[in-house]
Chains A and B, each alone.
Chain A
Amino acid sequence: MISETPDVIAATGQASMVDRLYDSVMNIYRNHTFRVTIQAIITVWAVITFTFFLIRLMPGNPIDVLVEQIMVAEGIPYQDAYDRVAASFDFDPDASAIDQYFDWFSDVLRLDLGTSITSPGTRVVDEIARFLPWTLFAVGTGLLVSFVLGIVLGMMMAYYRNSPLDHILSLFASFMTGIPNYIWGLLIVIVLGIQFNLFNVGALRGTYDVSTTPGFNLPFIKSAFEHAFLPIVTYVVSTLGGWMLNMKSSTMSVLNDDYVNVAEARGLKDSRIITAYVGRNAALPLFTQLTISIGFVLGSGVVIEEIFVYWGLGHYLFASITTRDYTSMQGVFVILVITVVFANLIADLTYGFLDPRVRVSGQK
């Protein structure tokens, strides 16, 4: 700041205070952990708000639809029907829209998502708590496996680039990414399950064998893995190609970096160079893509779980949509988004942990 007259100087003195405050606030903001956490919180808030408006204020919203249905079906006056619906959705019918919003908001924060419309008395949260772990289990395992596999195969493609191996893997990768995941699911069912009869698709419905007792025992864990196996394979196959291709190009650019060359000149063992020097650096950009992938795969669970009749959150969401159970639907959606945001947060924080350059300064 260039000041010319004394009173401007006084003003700048103050301004620089403000500036410094601004700077320190910005410094905190630039802190990676802090920033991604704040962003996650804002996102969750926005989505909860969005859902509120979607369910209540849109023309043809479920509340109006339900009220009308009940009025027609049972011949009761509007107010009674409205009160019934309000009870299900758990809001105060006499309060103003603003109050209802704050009410809804605090309810969601306390994980109170109302009760199911089709099966009264069932709390939506309890239902979600029943289904969510299975989805997380299948999606999490699938993503982990494909991420690790993709990194390994992608590096192989880069190290053996232009070899037959590279060409074949590239073609495979294009097939894997190109074909939609539910198509993969159907292919697995039709070709492997039915035509070649490799497994009994019918017996693998649900999330575990009901004859086993849930808990930390081998038969249960085994049956859980068996039942999740096909969804997991589908998640792996449909995401693997993307990781492979990304890892390949990322590895190729890292291989040109000076520090790899220097590491070789330093006489480091190949195993050390491949893991800590090439692999780790090449995998970094993939973590940013992981955040997009998590949302995508979790979201696609709705179809995949339907195809394999795997009883996870997606299956529950679909079931509540077909039965027009709006409170359940709303609850699942909110939880799904929060899960995605939370998973992204973890991926982001892991990234910060892996890349020291973003840890403090936030500049990449």
Chain B
Amino acid sequence: MSFISSIFSGIWSFLKRISKNKAGFLGFIGLVIYFFVTFIMPSFVEFDDEANLDEITGPIGSRIVLAVNVDDADRYHTLEDLAGKTVGVVTQTGGPTFIEPYEDTLTVEEFSWSSRREGPGIQAALVALANKEIDAMLIFSKSVTEFIDNQEDPELRQLFEDNIVISNPTLGPSHLLGTDTQGRDIASHIVHGGRLLILTAVLGGLISTAIALVLGSLAALFGGVLDNVLTAITNLILAIPRFPLLVVLAGLISFDNTLFLGVLIGLLGWPALMRAIRAQVLSLRERDFVEAAQSLGLSTGHIMMREILPNMISFVAINLIFSITFAMYEQIGLVVLGLAPISDYTWGVMLYFGRTRGTLFNADGASMALSPVLAIALFQVCLVLFARALEEVFDPRLRSAV
């Protein structure tokens, strides 16, 4: 019982210390949220794998907006609900939008769209919809809301406002972050796409930190030839730019397992940290309490475990976080280039598809690329803020390796 309460009081005092640093506290809260979203939410949110819009073509990356009459707005959630109704369709390209399977169930009325966005297509469709000449309207752009808002004719505007509901951008329940090129819910991908990525990065970070810790302390404690050799090797590896090396390795061996990639990244990622840890151990060794232990004839192993390591815990922890950010950087970088496994649908893979499917360059499709971009960016920022706060809170004298 007292053990548990001491853990709680430990956590409490830690929170109190970290909350002094506002940015760090923000980072900490962010990480807690990330943990919740990526590790707990997947049990409640289903991964949306139903490519329900595969058969509908439209400009790449555009989001599909469903506009319906006010009266029966909540009846239409899926394409199936629209069976037998007349659906007006407007696309930017003006080309055919529905492909066979739907034509059996829906009556399609096409409204052509000029090359300019303000073309008569939307207007005509909206008027038809407001007058209840058609039951619903599909539009492959988010600009329909803007279009209604910017409507200058007061009469039309009134008509639209009274009669039209826009569920944007949707077929089915509304999507927080919109849908991807296949009409799948991006938010569900974000929820599911973090865990493996984070675990792999943590694995990589742990491996490089462990190697750095072992080699760094060995070099510092034993000195002499061992130190020289280890330092020389470290400097050598440090001279090779790591990312191109990974890229080349990816070209030679094809990485087909995300965790294996994490291990490899970990195996290559230790040199900078090793140098920092070596310096840290060297300076700790000079301190009084270590010298006292040495003069008592305690073994090197004992001194390392009992005297030096406890004094480096925060330093190692902080650098572990930085290692994790680096491992993540490299992993996602490889994925973005398409050189790492894309079978697991992570944020990196979302980014990869967002890029290869051209949504990057389409204003309406931005969410597909922007969502993972922000997920990754904010996660990394949270880690960095948190680590810097730890640095300040625990020991301002300790400087991180990077």
Chain A residues in contact with chain B, CB under 8 A?
A: 39, 42-43, 46-47, 50, 54, 58, 60-62, 170-171, 174-175, 177-180, 182-183, 186-187, 189-191, 194-195, 197, 201-202, 242, 249, 292, 295-296, 298-300, 302-303, 306-307, 314, 317-318, 320-322, 324, 326, 329, 332-333, 336-337, 340-341, 344
Contacts and interface: CB of A to CB of B under 8 A. Distances in A.
Interface string B168-205: 00000000000000000000000000000000000000
A302 to B, nearest CB: 5
Interface stretch (B10-18, B42-50, B300-308, B369-377): B369-377
B248 A306 contact: no
A313 to B, nearest CB: 9
B241 A340 contact: yes
Contacts of B240: 47, 50, 295, 337, 340
A190 B381 contact: no
28 contacts: A39-B235, A47-B239, A50-B240, A61-B252, A62-B252, A174-B381, A174-B384, A178-B385, A179-B376, A180-B380, A182-B332, A182-B333, A186-B369, A187-B373, A189-B360, A190-B366, A194-B366, A195-B366, A197-B363, A298-B244, A302-B337, A303-B243, A307-B355, A321-B339, A333-B248, A336-B241, A337-B241, A344-B239
Q: Is the interface of A mostly helix, strand, loop or mixed?
A: helix
B243 A178 contact: no
Contacts of A295: 238-242
A299 B363 contact: no
Nearest to A325: B251
Nearest to A191: B370
Contacts of B328: 180
Given A177-B384, A194-B362, A60 B252 contact: yes
Interface in B205-258: 235-236, 238-245, 247-248, 250-253
Q: Which 5 A-B pairs have the closest CB atoms?
A: A299-B241, A178-B384, A321-B251, A178-B381, A299-B243
A39 B339 CA distance: 33
Contact of B361 (A175, A194, A298): A194
Indicate the member of B242, B369, B384 with the most A CB atoms within 10 Å. Answer: B384
B37 interface: no
B333 A324 contact: no
B339 A183 contact: no
Given A174-B23, A194-B362, A321-B251, A299 B242 contact: yes
Interface residues of B, number: 48
Contact of A186 (B242, B245, B373): B373
Interface of B: 23, 235-236, 238-245, 247-248, 250-253, 272, 325, 328-329, 332-333, 336-339, 351, 355, 360-363, 366, 369-370, 373, 376-377, 380-385, 388, 399, 402
Contacts of B239: 43, 47, 295, 337, 340-341, 344
A176 B251 CA distance: 30
Contacts of A46: 236
B325 A249 contact: no
Contacts of B333: 180, 182, 300, 302-303
Given A170-B23, A180-B329, A329-B251, 6 more contacts: A47-B236, A50-B240, A300-B243, A326-B251, A329-B248, A340-B241
Contacts of A320: 251
Contact of B23 (A61, A171, A249, A326): A171
A60 B253 contact: yes
A196 B360 CA distance: 13
B245 to A, nearest CB: 8
A239 to B, nearest CB: 11
Contact of A201 (B238, B339, B361): B361
A317 B351 contact: no
A306 B380 CA distance: 22
Indicate the member of A39, A249, A298, A300 with the most B CB atoms within 10 Å. Answer: A300
B36 to A, nearest CB: 20
Contacts of B244: 298-299, 302, 314, 317, 332-333, 336
B241 A298 contact: yes
A296 B23 CA distance: 27
A324 B23 contact: no
